[in-house]
Chains A and B, each alone.
Chain A
Amino acid sequence: MYIIGKSVYRKEAVDKVTGEAIYTNDIQSPGMLHARMLLSPYAHARIISINTEKAWKIPGVRAILAGERFPLTGEEIRDRPPIAVDKVRYFGETVALVVADNPVQAKRASELIEVVYEPLPVVNSPTEAMQANAPLVHENIESYEKVERVNPEPNTNIANRTKIRKGNIQKGWSESDVTVEGTVSFSPSDHAAMETRCSIAEIRQDGYVVITTSSQAPFMVKKLINLYFGIDTGKVIVNTPLVGGGYGGKAAVQLEILAFLASRAVGGKKVKLFNTREEDLVTSPCHIGLDAKIKLGCTRNGYLKAAEILYLFDGGAYSDKAVDVSRAGAVDCTGPYHIENVWCDSLCIYTNHPYASPFRGFSHSELLFAFERTMDMLAQKLGLDPLELRRKNAILPGHTTPTQVRLNTSNLGNLPACIDRLKEIMKWEEGQRSIQPDGLIRAKGICCIWKTSTIDTDSSSGVILTFNPDGSVNLISGVVEIGTGTKTILAQILSERLKMPIELIHVRMKVNTQTTPEHWKTVASRGTYMAGRAVLEAAEDAVEQIKKVAACVLHGAVSDLEVAGGRVFLKDEPSTGIELKDVVYGYTYPNGNTIGGQVIGRGTYTLRRMTYLDPQTGEGRPGPEWTVGAQGVEVEFNKRDFTYKIIRAVSVIDIGKVINEKAAQGQVMGAMAMGLCFGGRESFVFDEQGRVLNAQFRTYRPLRYGENPEYVVSFVETPQIDAPYGARGVGEHGLIGMPAALGNALSIAAEVNLNQLPLIPELIWRAKKGNQHALI
């Protein structure tokens, strides 16, 4: 391989380490106005009155938007007013928006808006939402506009239900000798990306809407502004500079709508809306919570026969992307095992919590915590080694998924190989639990993972390649650089294909929806796969154009030529050839005649053969491939005070093919850190009124340097045949087994089932006391 597998620096590295990198909020321009939100202090309340009189007295105030009925928004169900009307449905919801000449004026004015509320009973968990007498978060869900294939259930808090009916569950139970049932729950939390969200909108005099935004989905912003406000899609231009971490939180479209409304209210002037950390945590969409019930059945010797699953996803006050998250939860509802009989209902539930967006892993870290905790409970009941139980049931080519996709050696990685490698790394033969000389307990917990990407069936990615007079290439892709280094990976793929030094490949970092070909959304670990395929097709296209001109110049057939090392030459006689710089703008003969012209490579890729899920059985092909892996966590546990330290965290992932080794390791380690902190600490704490008590970094604490364990990352390589050089998606997978592996390690260490998150010492203390009451 020319450059595949090598750890090359990110193309934007210098910009980032020197601090020159520009993010949305760094953009300032003369005359730009600033918007500020007023937030709801209640989780559920009727808005009785809004008085803006005092706020208007602040100098510099240009507009106050409150109480006005704007088009309802939402990606599948249009249930969300951009600014609350009639009632508020979550703590931190936007109640008003002030536009002023500067941010301080906007803040001052927002603080002077007087809102009178009448508190309403609160739906504080999905389980509460399902009770017969539960208050309704939305009284008339049947009245909302919606897309096909989503079915809100009238007079309930159910936004959607995805059913999986595979095999015959009754047969599964009759074949089972041993059954176990696990109940799991955790509250919503957040992505806590370093860059809080920011959007700038302007409506130009010629009718063009120009939005600059920290988003993973600029092309979706364009479509939704068209859908909600009737602006022609060609007249919506969305710019996205570098994004300081997305993790799914910036896949949802929210601030863009508010910035647009703010701009419209001031005659189209440019308006910036920048989230404070508190707003970014609760006002903008967060990480979904879950209540789950899992029942598993297996034979005496540990072969799984039946899985009955209920997932109640806490979508929060508005369904937006949560419906899709809950659907993905059904698609991979079981974890990576061969189970012939599966029954699953995965529900998206309305509650009075902040509403959910995707979170790195898109329902998988959540469902795997539920499923893999239950697997450990089953292993314990069987008296079987938990890793052995998983190896016995590992999903293999020839098996089918819960949505009945037949797997093969390309669309599925090698799970047994991952398990075996994990076993080695974790020194499994030394035992799962031991007491150290100092009395501390060492325990190991493990978990298997899998994930496909449940994305739109027509998702596509496009790439354009242009050339410079020196023969170097410009790579233009709609992938947003959200910190994953995907654009560098694309450059490596191109470098490999053209056998051209990566220094001669110039990557355009910013996305502009008018000039950049579309990449559906920078989500779902799909950048390398989809945009990589588009890069290869664009390279092919450019190479063909180069060869055509060169064939004339070199007096040979196109099929005799090869492009490599910045030249096009005869395959059998490499010394006969010409430099790319002499071809890519057409070839000029000594007399001035020119043939050919600018070479512009064009490539697109659209996922193939994707289908919707059958509404009754869930049968369908929701994603192209399944990345698999095995993960482990080793803890040192103090059985007196229930504190613990994470010593090591291990990920073995079948990545298909490593394209950039350090980048891949970095992705996996970063994901592991997020997963461990989601499992061990990060969670919103709600009071009985549904208010978030820790919407600040003082009390909501992501993992910091020095708190991290030793990370071990190891890759298995089973190529996905239709992916660029065989590479599988790996952006999310390091995260998704961590909460479960941590829960399993601690359950073994503490000798009690720990089925809630976050796994704080107080939770373990309560479990040991047999008291499962919530914290507050």
Chain B
Amino acid sequence: MLSFDFDYHAPSTLKEAVSIYQILERQGKQPLFYGGGTEVLTLGRLNLVYSDALIDIKNIPECRVQMLTDKHLVLGAALTLTALTERNLFPLLSKTARGVADHTARNKITLGGNICGEIFYREAVLPFLLTDSYAVIAGNEIRTVSFDEVFNQFLQLGKGEFLVQLITNRNDLRLPQFHIKRRKQWNIGYPLVTVASIKKAGTVRIAISGLCPFPFRSKKLEEALNNNDISIESRINEAIQHVPSPILHDVEGSDEYRIFVLKNTLQDVLESYQGGES
């Protein structure tokens, strides 16, 4: 149950969506693009999210694309996490997506919603941080930008912009890869640490969620992990020096414990690559 009323708009083209936003804003409204609506409902009922004009992007064909071209995988922002995992065109994304919420919720949660939402784990970004990927963003113009440039703690969208698609280099889809999610206890809940990893051209790449109040990939951390001259233990000890701050310290676990879990998880990833598994 929400305390606030809102107008509902369901544009069918990108252009229409952008112009509706601009019109609403001129009218003094607080418009919000949305996909699955799970955060609008669950955070809205606690008044942690507010909007008086919601713009549903699910009817825009570009936002629902799920296709492989010769060189790329194109995924629409309004695809549900369930739709992604069922087609399984990007195995690392499927694994990561399956760790988010529960099945019923994933039937609603969209790729764009998970990436742009308020809940800061945003685990669906991890595979895109690791691969050669691009974000297609609609605003006054449609722009295509390198994902690691446009994602810094959160997706750097301008006012009135929204995420349309994510494009990933086809060659990166089936590289050796790992996804490990460690929780406070057993198989349900937010991550203490989620690590997604690929190995490309002999180099291990790592992206992390749950450790800090934002997901990240750190080049320095990766450099340390790829220093094959020293032991895995030394590499990990060096790598954690490059973890950004702040480290989360909350109901899921303390900061100190999260580092302990991260070390173990990194070790699992590195040892698994050594074992030649993928």
| A residues with CB within 8 A of B | 103-104, 107-108, 111, 276, 640-641, 643, 645, 680-681, 685, 693-694, 698-699, 701, 704, 706-707, 758, 760-762, 765-766, 775-776
User: How far does the Cβ of A151 sit from chain B's closest Cβ, in whole Å?
Assistant: 37
Contact across chains for A694 and B251 when beta carbons are under 8 A apart: yes
Contact across chains for B264 and A776 when beta carbons are under 8 A apart: no
Residues of chain B with a CB closer than 8 A to A701's CB: 185, 188-189
Contact of A707 among B182, B186, B190, B253 (CB under 8 A): B186
User: Bound complex: CA of A276 vs CA of B1, how far in Å?
Assistant: 10
Contact of B1 among A103, A640, A707, A765 (CB under 8 A): A103
Chain A's closest residue to B264 (CB) is A641
User: Bound complex: CA of A108 vs CA of B45, how far in Å?
Assistant: 11
Q: Given the interface contacts A104-B3, A693-B250, A765-B257, does A707 sit within 8 Å of B188 by beta carbon?
A: yes
Chain A's closest residue to B101 (CB) is A698
Residues of chain A with a CB closer than 8 A to B253's CB: 762, 775
User: How far does the Cβ of B195 sit from chain A's closest Cβ, in whole Å?
Assistant: 13
Contact across chains for B185 and A640 when beta carbons are under 8 A apart: no
User: How far does the Cβ of A639 sit from chain B's closest Cβ, in whole Å?
Assistant: 12
Contact across chains for A699 and B188 when beta carbons are under 8 A apart: no
B203 on the interface (CB 8 Å rule)? no
Chain A's closest residue to B102 (CB) is A704
Contact across chains for B261 and A641 when beta carbons are under 8 A apart: yes
Chain B's closest residue to A771 (CB) is B256
B234 on the interface (CB 8 Å rule)? no
Contact across chains for B264 and A640 when beta carbons are under 8 A apart: yes
**What 17 additional pairs, Cβ within 8 angstroms, besides A111-B47, A681-B185, A701-B188?**
A104-B2, A108-B3, A276-B45, A645-B186, A685-B251, A693-B250, A699-B189, A699-B251, A704-B187, A704-B188, A706-B187, A707-B186, A762-B253, A775-B251, A775-B253, A775-B254, A776-B254
Contact across chains for B249 and A776 when beta carbons are under 8 A apart: yes
User: How far does the Cβ of B185 sit from chain A's closest Cβ, in whole Å?
Assistant: 5
User: Bound complex: CA of A680 vs CA of B189, how far in Å?
Assistant: 14
5 examples of A-B residue contacts, CB within 8 angstroms: A111-B3, A706-B187, A707-B187, A761-B185, A762-B184
Chain B's closest residue to A775 (CB) is B254
Contact across chains for A762 and B189 when beta carbons are under 8 A apart: no
Contact across chains for B188 and A762 when beta carbons are under 8 A apart: no
Contact across chains for B3 and A776 when beta carbons are under 8 A apart: no
Contact across chains for B250 and A776 when beta carbons are under 8 A apart: yes
User: Bound complex: CA of A706 vs CA of B261, how far in Å?
Assistant: 23
**Considering the complex, which residues of chain B in the window 1-28 have a beta carbon less than 8 Å from any beta carbon of chain A?**
1-3
User: How far does the Cβ of B94 sit from chain A's closest Cβ, in whole Å?
Assistant: 18
Chain A's closest residue to B192 (CB) is A762
Main secondary structure of the interface of B (DSSP, over half): loop
Q: Given the interface contacts A640-B264, A765-B260, A776-B249, does A699 sit within 8 Å of B254 by beta carbon?
A: no
Contact across chains for B251 and A760 when beta carbons are under 8 A apart: no
Contact flags B174-201 to A (C-beta < 8 A → 1, else 0):
0000000010111111100000000000
Chain B's closest residue to A111 (CB) is B3
Contact flags B31-52 to A (C-beta < 8 A → 1, else 0):
0000000000000010100000
| B residues with CB within 8 A of A | 1-3, 45, 47, 102, 182, 184-190, 249-254, 257, 260-261, 264
User: How far does the Cβ of A689 sit from chain B's closest Cβ, in whole Å?
Assistant: 14
Instruction: Name the 10 nearest CB pairs between A and B, nearest first.
Output: A681-B185, A685-B251, A108-B3, A641-B264, A762-B257, A694-B251, A760-B185, A693-B251, A707-B186, A701-B188
Residues of chain A with a CB closer than 8 A to B47's CB: 111
Residues of chain A with a CB closer than 8 A to B187's CB: 704, 706-707
Residues of chain B with a CB closer than 8 A to A276's CB: 45
Residues of chain B with a CB closer than 8 A to A704's CB: 102, 187-188
Residues of chain A with a CB closer than 8 A to B45's CB: 276
Contact across chains for A699 and B186 when beta carbons are under 8 A apart: no
User: Bound complex: CA of A202 vs CA of B3, how far in Å?
Assistant: 26
Residues of chain A with a CB closer than 8 A to B2's CB: 104
Chain B's closest residue to A58 (CB) is B3
Q: Given the interface contacts A640-B264, A698-B190, does A107 sit within 8 Å of B1 by beta carbon?
A: yes
User: Bound complex: CA of A707 vs CA of B189, how far in Å?
Assistant: 12
Contact across chains for B3 and A758 when beta carbons are under 8 A apart: no
User: Bound complex: CA of A655 vs CA of B233, how far in Å?
Assistant: 54
Residues of chain B with a CB closer than 8 A to A640's CB: 264
User: Bound complex: CA of A666 vs CA of B251, how far in Å?
Assistant: 32
User: Bound complex: CA of A111 vs CA of B48, how far in Å?
Assistant: 13
Chain A's closest residue to B257 (CB) is A762
Contact across chains for A681 and B186 when beta carbons are under 8 A apart: yes
User: Bound complex: CA of A681 vs CA of B252, how far in Å?
Assistant: 11
Chain A's closest residue to B260 (CB) is A765
User: Bound complex: CA of A276 vs CA of B251, how far in Å?
Assistant: 21
Residues of chain A with a CB closer than 8 A to B3's CB: 104, 107-108, 111
Q: Given the interface contacts A707-B186, A762-B254, A762-B257, does A104 sit within 8 Å of B1 by beta carbon?
A: yes
Contact of B184 among A103, A706, A760 (CB under 8 A): A760
User: Bound complex: CA of A776 vs CA of B2, how far in Å?
Assistant: 32
Chain A's closest residue to B189 (CB) is A701
Residues of chain A with a CB closer than 8 A to B252's CB: 699
Contact of B251 among A107, A765, A776 (CB under 8 A): A776
Chain A's closest residue to B187 (CB) is A707
Residues of chain B with a CB closer than 8 A to A775's CB: 251, 253-254
User: How far does the Cβ of B100 sit from chain A's closest Cβ, in whole Å?
Assistant: 12
Contact across chains for B185 and A699 when beta carbons are under 8 A apart: no
Residues of chain A with a CB closer than 8 A to B254's CB: 762, 775-776
Residues of chain A with a CB closer than 8 A to B261's CB: 641
Chain A's closest residue to B254 (CB) is A775
Best-buried of B251, B253, B260 by chain A (most CB within 10 Å): B251
Contact across chains for B251 and A680 when beta carbons are under 8 A apart: no
Residues of chain B with a CB closer than 8 A to A762's CB: 184, 253-254, 257
Chain A's closest residue to B267 (CB) is A640
User: Bound complex: CA of A706 vs CA of B98, how far in Å?
Assistant: 15
Residues of chain B with a CB closer than 8 A to A760's CB: 184-185
Residues of chain B with a CB closer than 8 A to A776's CB: 249-251, 254
User: Bound complex: CA of A776 vs CA of B102, how far in Å?
Assistant: 27
User: How far does the Cβ of A191 sit from chain B's closest Cβ, in whole Å?
Assistant: 18
User: How far does the Cβ of A35 sit from chain B's closest Cβ, in whole Å?
Assistant: 13
User: How far does the Cβ of A703 sit from chain B's closest Cβ, in whole Å?
Assistant: 8
Residues of chain B with a CB closer than 8 A to A108's CB: 3
User: How far does the Cβ of B46 sit from chain A's closest Cβ, in whole Å?
Assistant: 8
Residues of chain A with a CB closer than 8 A to B249's CB: 776
Residues of chain A with a CB closer than 8 A to B184's CB: 681, 760-762
Residues of chain A with a CB closer than 8 A to B190's CB: 698-699
User: Bound complex: CA of A765 vs CA of B256, how far in Å?
Assistant: 11
Q: Given the interface contacts A640-B264, A694-B251, does A680 sit within 8 Å of B186 by beta carbon?
A: yes
User: How far does the Cβ of B220 sit from chain A's closest Cβ, in whole Å?
Assistant: 25
User: How far does the Cβ of B17 sit from chain A's closest Cβ, in whole Å?
Assistant: 28
User: Bound complex: CA of A694 vs CA of B250, how far in Å?
Assistant: 10
Chain B's closest residue to A105 (CB) is B3
Best-buried of A685, A760, A762 by chain B (most CB within 10 Å): A762
Residues of chain B with a CB closer than 8 A to A107's CB: 1, 3
Residues of chain B with a CB closer than 8 A to A699's CB: 189-190, 251-252
User: How far does the Cβ of A687 sit from chain B's closest Cβ, in whole Å?
Assistant: 9
Residues of chain B with a CB closer than 8 A to A681's CB: 184-186
User: How far does the Cβ of A710 sit from chain B's closest Cβ, in whole Å?
Assistant: 15
Residues of chain B with a CB closer than 8 A to A685's CB: 251
User: Bound complex: CA of A418 vs CA of B190, how far in Å?
Assistant: 40
Contact across chains for B1 and A680 when beta carbons are under 8 A apart: no
User: Bound complex: CA of A698 vs CA of B190, how far in Å?
Assistant: 8
User: Bound complex: CA of A135 vs CA of B271, how far in Å?
Assistant: 54
User: How far does the Cβ of A539 sit from chain B's closest Cβ, in whole Å?
Assistant: 46
User: How far does the Cβ of A353 sit from chain B's closest Cβ, in whole Å?
Assistant: 16
User: How far does the Cβ of A108 sit from chain B's closest Cβ, in whole Å?
Assistant: 5
Chain A's closest residue to B5 (CB) is A104
User: How far does the Cβ of A269 sit from chain B's closest Cβ, in whole Å?
Assistant: 21
User: How far does the Cβ of B218 sit from chain A's closest Cβ, in whole Å?
Assistant: 22
User: How far does the Cβ of A100 sit from chain B's closest Cβ, in whole Å?
Assistant: 12
User: How far does the Cβ of B167 sit from chain A's closest Cβ, in whole Å?
Assistant: 32
Chain B's closest residue to A702 (CB) is B188
Chain B's closest residue to A759 (CB) is B185
Residues of chain B with a CB closer than 8 A to A680's CB: 185-186
